[in-house]
Structure 1
Amino acid sequence: MKRVYLVLIMLIMITLAACQKEHDTEMRIVSLIPSNTEIVSELGLFDSLVMVTVSDDFPDMVKSDDITKIDTFNFDVEKVIAEKPTHIVSHESINDGISSEIERVKKATGAKVLVVADATSIEDVFRDIETVGNFLGKSQEADDVVERLEAEFTEFKESIEPKTKQRAVVFLSPTPEIYTVGRDTFISSLLKGAGMVNVFSDLKGYPVVSNESLVKHEPQVAINLTDMSDKDFRDMLKSTPGLKSLDITDLGNQCTPDVNLVSRPGPRIIQGMKSLAECFNDEN
């Protein structure tokens, strides 16, 4: 009988040790940009997120007080260390400004760090999903997500191909200093995917353009990604000298989509395209 008790005690100790080991190696993920958070969540690892940014708002559960928030423009190294991260998912667009801080966190915690490359095309988004999946041990899940998105993209393209391609301009800021999107940008790739033509594809990146240049490029539709209301955006276009001759001054040729859908290179990319395409449907 005594031997039986000893065996039982040993089994219990082994089980407890295994549980402790599992606890010690629990994945604790810090995401430093909203698009990364969306990718991590889509891979089924939302419950492993211990820190996201103050800008994160999707999925809705990310707003919970149970997840610590950080302002990447005021990076608090000690706050990140306190979360004992095992994995940090950063991004090329912000990493230069916080690379030394991330290195300090890495040395203090032993966390693995991934810097996700900037996406300038739909294919780049698929690549980034695969990269994050590989980094977090979710390669198969990433493959499944990409396969689903590719199928959705193909179906969506077939549904819009017969339609006339509209010439679009994106406003990132109001006049007179108009920031817009040129070629080799994520938003420009969404425009193309949505069956539109970016009138400023002759420029690269995020250029500032003049009223005169806007008139010269003759956009048919205007996409409002500023923080202006629909009414303020409409009034701005109507009151800007030289723009009265353009189609974009008509209400039916203006649209304010969900800025997060069309600016975050993540798993909601097809939704972003659809929101742009639906802006100017036949009912407008």
Structure 2
Amino acid sequence: MIYIDQLGRKIELLDTPKRIISLVPSQTELLVSLGLLDNIVGVTKFCVHPVSIRNQKTIVGGTKKVNFEKIKKLNPDIILCNKEENTKEIVEALEDEYPVHVSDIYSVSEALEMIRHYGEIFDKKTEADQLTSSINIQKVSFDDFIKNKPQKRVAYFIWRKPWMAVGNTTFVNYMLSVNGFINVFGDEDRYPEISEEKLSKIKDLDMILLSSEPFPFSKKHIKEIKAISPDAKVILVDGEYFSWYGSRLADAFSYFKTLH
């Protein structure tokens, strides 16, 4: 069978893959939700859902650096990657030896497309259809909930020292827009570094969102950033609901309601 991934690359598979390596945490969680736990043989050190996954499976590295010898010993039928999470060099090195599916996701519709891809590749179409239907229902409900809410100007930070925010062409920026938030750094590319001086000069900033990942912001950082931007409301948010585009989307919209 020939499959096309989200970069338009052709993947040839002789049979349904039984040995899977996932190099993307949110996609690892998705595989488990589709009933493929027993087929996963390798994951990254950042694959934290379900919490037991790293004790059950071989850790082959991180998302930016992998152990090719460990991967070779696992003899995978397919390796799952993502354009943003994994490097081009990793994908090119792996695809010389194994079928590699690369996702490329900047919207909910693209996330649902990826889920449907997995349903076809892993013979889990029924499970994939049920999951995409659930996510669609939740999003429609949230869209109705949010439609009359006033828009708020927000900054979403993912790192400290240096302060780094979310800019355009990111899945998080898309999810901010789904929430009716106006990203004050939405005209900047990807993940810009923001100086304290620049942040202090932003007018009419309603909220600053401090993500739980990749930097683990906590309550002690609220006071720190309030000293820079005293008029903005500062909220700690669960970054997984803003940046994980697998089965976690089924619960994301209920979480978003709590922010409003």
Q: Which amino acid aligns with 1:229?
A: S
- SS of the counterpart of 1:172? strand
In the alignment, is the contact (CA less than 8 A) between 1:70 and 1:76 conserved in 2? yes
Matches of 1:103 and 1:184, distance apart in 2 = 26
Give the one of 174, 181, 185 matched to 2:166. 181
- SS of the counterpart of 1:50? strand
Matches of 2:101 and 2:256, distance apart in 1 = 31
Give the gaps of 5 or more residues in structure 2. Answer: 1-14
1 or 2, which has the higher helix percentage?
A: 1
Matches of 2:208 and 2:44, distance apart in 1 = 30
Q: Does 1:195 align with 2:180?
A: yes
Give the one of 101, 108, 114 matched to 1:114. 101
In the alignment, is the contact (CA less than 8 A) between 2:217 and 2:236 conserved in 1? no
Change over 3 Å in CA distance of 1:75–1:194 after alignment to 2: same
Matches of 1:193 and 1:260, distance apart in 2 = 15
Give the gaps of 5 or more residues in structure 1. Answer: 1-23, 107-111
1:125-204 to 2 correspondences below 5 Å: 125-174=111-160, 177-204=162-189
Structure with the greater relative contact order (CA < 8 A, sep ≥ 6): 1 or 2?
A: 2
- SS of the counterpart of 2:56? coil
CA shift, 1:146, in A, is 1.1
Q: Which residue in 1 is equivalent to 2:217?
A: 228
Change over 3 Å in CA distance of 1:46–1:217 after alignment to 2: farther
TM-score (norm 1): 0.76
Give the one of 27, 41, 53 matched to 1:36. 27
TM-score (norm 2): 0.82
CA shift, 1:230, in A, is 1.2
Q: Does 1:238 align with 2:231?
A: no
Q: Does 1:70 align with 2:29?
A: no
Q: How high is the sequence identity, in percent, across the aligned residues?
A: 26
Matches of 2:218 and 2:70, distance apart in 1 = 36
CA shift, 1:194, in A, is 2.2
CA shift, 1:262, in A, is 2.1
CA shift, 1:125, in A, is 1.1
Q: Which amino acid aligns with 1:49?
A: I
In the alignment, is the contact (CA less than 8 A) between 1:190 and 1:272 conserved in 2? no
Matches of 1:254 and 1:135, distance apart in 2 = 43
From the CA coordinates, give the structure whose radius of gyration is larger.
1
Give the one of 219, 228, 235 matched to 2:205. 219
In the alignment, is the contact (CA less than 8 A) between 2:164 and 2:193 conserved in 1? yes
In the alignment, is the contact (CA less than 8 A) between 1:222 and 1:254 conserved in 2? yes
